Amino acid sequence: MAAAVALASPLRRLLRAPQPRRAVPAPYYFFSRGRCGATIAVTAGAAKDSAVNASVDRIVAEEVRNILYMLMQAERASQRRDVFHTNFLTPPIIKEAMVAIEKLADIKAVAQGGYPEAERCRISVGHPDSLTSNPDTVAALSISGNFRLEPCSHGDFLGAILGTGITREKVGDILLQGEKGAQVLVDPELVDYLTSTLEKVGKVGVSCTQIPLLALEYEPPRTKSFKTVEASLRVDALASAGFKISRTKLASLISAGDVRVNWTPVLKNGVTLESGDVVSVSGMGRLKVN
């Protein structure tokens, strides 16, 4: 399920602000487990937790700033008919980056994640004449092994990949396949490295091979809609209702870093949600506030 973050005001400020001439840092993007979701319609009112939300806005705004800096580089590349590719980005950043690209003259952008409903995507930007067809910027790998007795989670596969020294932004979606293993989308430049380096996920020995994108096996996320009435729009109130767990259990998940709002980890139970916000809990899926 895709989601959008309301960043209009920070983005306008970034577009007006001069961009620093410096190397772009490699931000760490988080990816939640689970592919099912739930939608909640809430009738309630609450005060804004401005301190925490401002901190979250700063994190996302900095990511957008990095994207805009890269877009400046891409605009220069476009003048030379070159094509520039970003790393894998999360849905909120993809949305804001695409909006920013629309403001730039003589530049075309294509977002690709390897399959139609991909969550994490790379954006290719350049002059329209240079992007006459979809660029080949995403590769698919099959990680296979006998996971019947040792089932592994999304986090296990991601941890094994990152354990080879690869950074998170070079890895796209991970499609779990139960006992068979998983299919992973990666930067094509890393295919040879991973196929020769990745040997184990958890305690299971694995083989890693490249497969065509058409061989990817995926299903649309299953969703359901329901209504609830809560005393506030706090994340612990809505998430406990949406995932049908106690607030005590949710508080422990927040402390462990397993709860995210719009792909950014929340730090406190009292973070206030707004319409359109997406809450994800590792291993449980995600919900969107209507």
Decide if pLDDT at 118 tops 60: yes
pLDDT in tens, 242-274: 888 888 888 888 888 888 888 788 888 888 888
b/e per residue 114-134 (b: at least 16 CB within 10 A):
bbeebbbbbbbbbbeebbeee
The residue with greater pLDDT, 135 or 167, is 167
Beta-strand relationship, 204-205 and 181-186: unpaired
pLDDT interval class at 96 (50, 70, 90): confident
Strand 264-265 with 181-186, pairing = unpaired
Q: Are strands 108-112 and 122-126 parallel, antiparallel or unpaired?
A: antiparallel
Report which of residues 54 and 26 the model is more confident about. 54
If you average pLDDT over residues 164-178, what whole number do you get?
A: 92
- Residues belonging to the chain: 290
Domains of the chain, with CATH numbers? 8-34+50-130 (3.30.1370.160), 139-215 (3.30.70.330), 227-289 (3.10.290.10)
The amino acid that residue 10 corresponds to is: P
> Count of CB atoms within 10 A of residue 89's CB?
26
Q: Is the pLDDT of residue 290 over 90?
A: no
At 228-246, the pLDDT tens digits run 888 888 888 888 888 888 8
Q: Would the pLDDT of 192 be above 50?
A: yes
Maximum alpha-carbon separation in the chain: 57
Residues 6+ apart with CB under 8 A from 196: none
More confident position, 156 or 47: 156
pLDDT value of residue 2: 32
9-30 pLDDT, tens digit per residue, is 333 333 333 333 333 333 322 2
Q: Compute CA distances 46 → 5, 65, 232, 241, 272, whole Å.
A: 19, 30, 5, 17, 7
The candidate with the shortest Cα–Cα distance to 141, out of 179, 171, 110, is 171
Q: Does the pLDDT at position 94 exceed 90? A: no
